């Protein structure tokens, strides 16, 4: 199995995109990218804009050789968009999806904006996006919907992905933030050797001490059982503050 991380918070962009080669399939997961557009009234720093452009090119190249495309949810940093701003990935920039197997979060637990993005992506693909939740196909397995953050989150749900080749098992868990024990239980039940997951957004004031403790507990539970644990998004700063860690 070969795993390539394409774009994440710690690499300078919003998103959790990657490409996995396993069982003669090339699987692109969450091919989206975003920057903090007009955050605190400021545009992204030029260095971050350059990083975002590089990540977009990597995603487009990966889609050009993909056999499978996985969408965990429909937020703008995880999918190509029909109405992309200059710092996101536009649907018009990516290759056609005609020949790809599509594995997508179902059209439920979605905001009105996410429903529109589901429609836009279906139109671009020329078919209704299939609901992959709890399905399996060859090396691929998908979870039931789990919370985007804590169980009380208003941000909807996401779908996690498992990829297996031989004794290697990779799990992609976007935006779970380590805040829901059911999501952690599903991951551990999959017996992964490598996990790429979104950690808790410590920069947000809504992350209470209680939630921080839950994330810490769940993070330790994963670390004890997984050979390689990659956590991202833990301490995102503002656009201009963040450039220090990007360059």
What is the predicted pLDDT for the residue at 235? 55
Residue of 52, 114, 110 lying closest to 82 (CA atoms)? 114
Residue 157 forms beta bridges with which residues? 147
> Residue range 232-247: average pLDDT?
43
* CATH tag, 2-246: 3.60.15
The three-state (H, E, C) secondary structure of 146-171, written as one string: EECCCCCCCCCEECCEEEEECCEEEE
Cα distance between residue 30 and residue 88, in whole Å: 13
Cα distance between residue 46 and residue 247, in whole Å: 11
Mean pLDDT over the full length of the chain = 92
Helix (H) or strand (E) holding 123: helix 112-125
Cα-Cα end-to-end distance for the chain? 30
Q: What whole-number percentage of the chain has pLDDT above 70?
A: 94
pLDDT tens digits, residue range 132-182?
Answer: 999 999 999 999 999 999 988 889 999 999 999 999 999 999 999 999 999
Cα distance between residue 35 and residue 147, in whole Å: 23
Residue with token string 């498992």: 162
> Residue range 100-113: average pLDDT?
94
Segment among 34-43, 112-121, 139-148, 187-196 with least mean pLDDT? 34-43
pTM: 0.92
Question: Given pLDDT bands bounded at 50, 70 and 90, which one contains residue 108?
Answer: confident
Question: Given pLDDT bands bounded at 50, 70 and 90, which one contains residue 245?
Answer: very low
> Residue range 181-190: average pLDDT?
98
pLDDT at 242 over 50: no
């Amino acid at each position: 199995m070969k795993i390539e991380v394409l774009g994440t918070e710690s690499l300078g962009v919003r998103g959790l995109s990657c490409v996995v080669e396993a069982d003669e399939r090339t699987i692109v997961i969450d091919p989206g990218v975003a920057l903090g557009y007009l955050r605190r009234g400021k545009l992204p720093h030029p260095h971050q804009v350059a990083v975002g452009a590089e990540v977009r090119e990597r995603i487009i190249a990966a889609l050009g050789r993909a056999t499978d495309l996985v969408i965990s949810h429909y937020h703008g940093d995880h999918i190509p968009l029909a109405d992309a701003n200059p710092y996101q990935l536009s649907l018009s920039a990516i290759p056609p999806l005609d020949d790809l197997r599509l594995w997508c979060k179902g059209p439920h637990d979605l905001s009105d904006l996410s429903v529109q993005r589901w429609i836009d992506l279906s139109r671009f693909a020329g078919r209704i996006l299939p609901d992959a939740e709890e399905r399996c196909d060859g090396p691929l397995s998908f979870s039931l919907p789990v919370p985007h953050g804590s169980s009380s989150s208003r941000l909807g749900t996401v779908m996690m992905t498992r990829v297996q080749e031989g004794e290697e098992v990779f799990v992609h868990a976007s935006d779970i933030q380590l805040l829901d024990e059911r999501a952690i239980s599903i991951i551990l039940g999959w017996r992964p050797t490598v996990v790429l997951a979104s950690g808790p957004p410590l920069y947000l004031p809504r992350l209470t001490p209680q939630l921080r403790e839950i994330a810490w507990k769940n993070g330790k539970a994963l670390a004890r059982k997984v050979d390689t644990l990659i956590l991202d998004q833990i301490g995102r700063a503002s656009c201009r503050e963040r450039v220090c860690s990007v360059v």
